[in-house]
Amino acid sequence: MKTYPLISSLNIGLLHPERQTNWFYYLRLPLIIAFWCLITSQLMAQKQSAQSWKRLFNGKDLSGWDSYLIPSPAAAEQTPIGLNKDPHAVFTVVDGTIRVSGQDWGSIITHGEFENYHLRFQTKWGEKKWPPREKALRDGGLLYHSSGSNDFGSKCWMRSSEMQIQEGEIGDFHNVGAGISEFQLTRTIVNGDSVEQYDPNAEFKHYKHRVYRSGNFESPQGEWTTGEMIARGADAVFIVNGFVVNRAYNAYRMDLQRQVTRGKIQFQSEGAEHFLRNIEIRPLAFGQQGKPVLVSDKPELRLSAGEQRPLRITNQGDPVEIIAAELLGKGNDRFVVKLPALPLVLKKGETLTLPVSLKPETKSGSTIKLRLETVYGPVEDFEVILGEKTMGSR
């Protein structure tokens, strides 16, 4: 059993009155109790961070995964390929990564089901694209809460919800039959089309179609993008390179008359070569203890295009594990916030420094808000305004 030196060094005999007969013991008792409360709150706050990550992909082979494939819609022969048959080597292990060729459509599927978890992975685009999507954006996808037959969606995917992995659009939500969810949505224009986009300031409504992410935070072509998904009961949070980009709430199957809270995990093949690595999962530990109190040295930070300035955030309350940041507002991806390696535990008295800059091409008048995310949701009572510097601002 692991021993925490600070605790083990405490004289436990101080807690027994029969061993302490002088009046000084009673003066020390409140301090001893306060000390124990402090240590307990620190350990509980770090409990989530200490939850061990489990590798779903061992970097050597596809142990723990099944596959299901069908020919692409452009193939002359449309007979399903089936379960654990991969004649065209769609899913292979190359240099510690899973190469997804995209030639046939389908997915790799975990053997087990999962609920209440934090999943993370890395993905990078390849070069090859296959008909009928050779002129379309490169496409893949993370399907979660998957259940039922393998041929429900497009005849090759299980009933599920999807965190989109598509070129320039990682973090969109798609419904592949896992139920209707609630979203905060705003109607907006993307590439000339009117679409529903996640907007944390909007009203909630039920919706069963595509929901666009709040901004584009993925890495350039040829570089690895880190994707994360928090499955918390019937809710889900999508994170791209450390930034929250989408939230879905209260997934519900009308045919079953119940919430959707668990299922298998799939990664899609859908016409484009891409790679996957570092696929890991950890359970969520509920029962948050204590309350962090985050204070920024600047409640409002305004920048000129191309300028970089530090934002210092100090925790004056209980320890908290930070897993991501969220930028709220139109044009949020025009701001660059350099994040440390996450997750991290910010203890009482510690300061987190975030370099912030504004992209040179940013439109005049851009203003957004920054908040920090835990596995339970955003840190309460903490927001910082980020905006373009104007005449008279500092």
- 25-35 pLDDT tens trace: 444 444 444 44
> What's the rounded Cα separation, in Å, for the pair 278 and 295?
34
Report which residue type is found at 252. Y
12-16, 88-92, 195-199, 240-244: segment of lowest average pLDDT: 12-16
Give the residue carrying structure tokens 């000129």.
Answer: 304
The pLDDT-based confidence of 389 (bands split at 50, 70, 90) is: confident
Of 38 and 365, more confident: 365
pTM of the model: 0.87
pLDDT at residue number 3? 35
pLDDT at residue number 289? 75
Does 12 have pLDDT greater than 50? no
Query: How many residues belong to the chain?
Result: 394
pLDDT at residue number 393? 55
pLDDT at residue number 46? 47
- Give the residue among 123, 57, 338, 331 at the shortest CA–CA distance from 215: 331
Q: In the chain, which ranges are continuous DSSP H helix?
A: 5-8, 24-45, 47-50
Scored b (16 or more CB within 10 A) or e, 270-284 reads: bbbbbbbbbbbbbeb
Reduced DSSP (H G I as helix, E B as strand, rest coil) percent helix, strand, coil of the chain, to 5: 10, 45, 45
Q: Say what percent of the chain tops pLDDT 70.
A: 85
Average pLDDT taken over every residue of the chain: 88
> What's the rounded Cα separation, in Å, for the pair 74 and 80?
13
User: For residue 7, which phi and psi values (nearest 5 degrees)?
Assistant: -80, -45
Mean pLDDT across the stretch 289-316? Answer: 94
Residues 6+ away with beta carbon under 8 Å from 299: 384, 385
Residues 375-387: tens digit of each pLDDT:
999 999 999 999 9
The pLDDT-based confidence of 191 (bands split at 50, 70, 90) is: confident
> What's the rounded Cα separation, in Å, for the pair 102 and 171?
20
Residues 125-155: tens digit of each pLDDT:
999 999 999 999 999 999 999 999 999 999 9
Scored b (16 or more CB within 10 A) or e, 227-242 reads: bbbbbbbbbbbbbbbb
Cα distances (Å, whole numbers) of residue 230 to 4, 191, 220, 328, 390: 30, 29, 24, 19, 38
Mean pLDDT across the stretch 77-93? Answer: 97
Mean pLDDT across the stretch 72-91? Answer: 97
pLDDT at residue number 18? 39
> What's the rounded Cα separation, in Å, for the pair 284 and 300?
33
pLDDT at residue number 36? 43
